């Protein structure tokens, strides 16, 4: 009997300066199967977000040290955290704060006092939207369309990552560690960012860029398949043909014929 696929456990960051309310929210989310991180102000939350790259941030607005508005602005303007959905908790009549939060990129807001069932529904909806966006990014990337839709910082990161791999893919020894170093990231941070952006891994991303560059050469030049394989860092032409077929569901020769 086949095993059911394991349910993905999402990590949420709860930011609230009231310890009792913070624990109430975090505990309630944990009861629903989420992993909940806790922070008491925006500065602490920003450090945790950069270290853990949570799947969603739930933050109060009025806090000491760094407000929720400032935190949201920092998260949305940072290439590494721009993909993270942010829900802001606001006072019932704070329309100005709600507008300000939405203007700087907050994805949703919930007014206090709130019902946990409503909050959980908002969280599930945002996580579902983010999952659909990842699939869209991945589809566009596999179709060699580098005009990615979505948030500007996400596009900037993916285009920068593509350029780095594009420049290094001719080296057969170019590895995920080299990719991470060129981006000035740790391996774990790169893995989390690619997972959240296009549901990929560093190794898979490198392979996809190599095949994308090979496809452009096949369609736009008269170089031999063997020469193209070497140009994109594959020193075994038969293995290159196998990888290419896995990506495009046709051989390099068939791909070239289709574009000629």
Provide DSSP, 118-153: HHHHHHHHHHHHHHHHHHHHHHHHHTT-----S-HH
Q: Are residues 108 and 129 in the same domain?
A: yes
Q: DSSP letter at 227?
A: H
Domain boundary among 134, 158, 186: 134
Instruction: Report which DSSP code applies to 2.
Output: P
Distance CA 220, CA 196 (A): 33
Residues 76 and 147 in one domain: no
Return the half-sphere exposure (C-beta side, CA atoms, 13 A cut-off) of residue 199.
12
Q: In terms of domains, do 45 and 23 share one? A: yes
Separation in Å, CA 47 to CA 10, 30, 163, 242: 19, 22, 28, 43
Does residue 66 have a pLDDT over 80? yes
Is residue 94 a part of any domain in this protein?
Answer: yes
Burial of 13 (0-12, 13-18, 19+ CB in 10 A): buried
Q: Name the token pair of 191.
A: 């893995």
Percent of the chain exceeding pLDDT 70 equals: 84
pLDDT at residue 115 is higher than 90: no
Task: Give the C-alpha distances (Å, rounded to integers) separating 130 from 27, 60, 133, 137.
Answer: 24, 21, 5, 10
Are residue 118 and residue 188 in the same domain, yes or no?
Answer: no
DSSP assignment letter at 36: E
2: in domain: no
- Alpha carbons 121 and 109: distance in angstroms, whole number: 12
Same-domain pairing of 114 and 152: no
Total tally of structural domains belonging to the chain: 2
Boundaries of domain holding 59: 11-134
Q: What is the pTM of this model?
A: 0.64
Domain check: are 117 and 37 in the same one? yes
> Which of these three, 116, 134, 152, is where a domain ends?
134
Average pLDDT, the chain: 84
**Higher-scoring residue by pLDDT: 181, 103:** 181
Between 153 and 193, residue with greater pLDDT: 193
């Amino acid at each position: 009997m086949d095993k059911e696929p394991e349910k993905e456990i999402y990590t949420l960051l709860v930011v609230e300066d009231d310890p009792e309310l913070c624990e109430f929210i975090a505990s309630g989310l944990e009861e629903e199967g989420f992993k909940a991180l806790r922070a008491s102000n925006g500065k602490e939350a920003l450090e945790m977000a950069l270290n853990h790259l949570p799947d969603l941030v739930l933050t109060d607005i009025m806090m000491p040290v760094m407000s929720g508005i400032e935190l949201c602005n920092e998260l949305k303007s940072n290439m590494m955290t721009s993909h993270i959905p942010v829900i802001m908790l606001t006072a019932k009549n704070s329309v100005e704060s709600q507008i300000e939060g939405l203007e700087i990129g907050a994805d949703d807001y919930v007014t206090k006092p709130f019902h946990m069932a409503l909050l959980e529904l908002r969280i599930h909806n945002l996580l579902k939207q983010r999952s659909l966006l990842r699939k869209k990014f991945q589809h566009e990337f596999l179709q060699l369309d580098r005009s990615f839709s979505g948030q500007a910082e996400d596009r900037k990161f993916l285009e920068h990552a593509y350029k780095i791999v594009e420049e290094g893919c001719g080296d057969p020894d170019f590895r995920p560690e080299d990719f991470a170093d060129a981006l000035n990231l740790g391996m774990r941070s790169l893995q989390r960012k690619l997972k959240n952006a296009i549901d990929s891994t560093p190794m898979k991303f490198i392979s996809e860029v190599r095949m994308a560059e090979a496809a452009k050469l096949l369609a736009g030049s008269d170089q031999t398949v063997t020469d193209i394989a070497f140009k994109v860092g594959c020193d075994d032409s038969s293995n290159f043909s196998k990888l290419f077929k896995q990506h495009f569901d046709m051989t390099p020769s068939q791909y070239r014929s289709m574009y000629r």
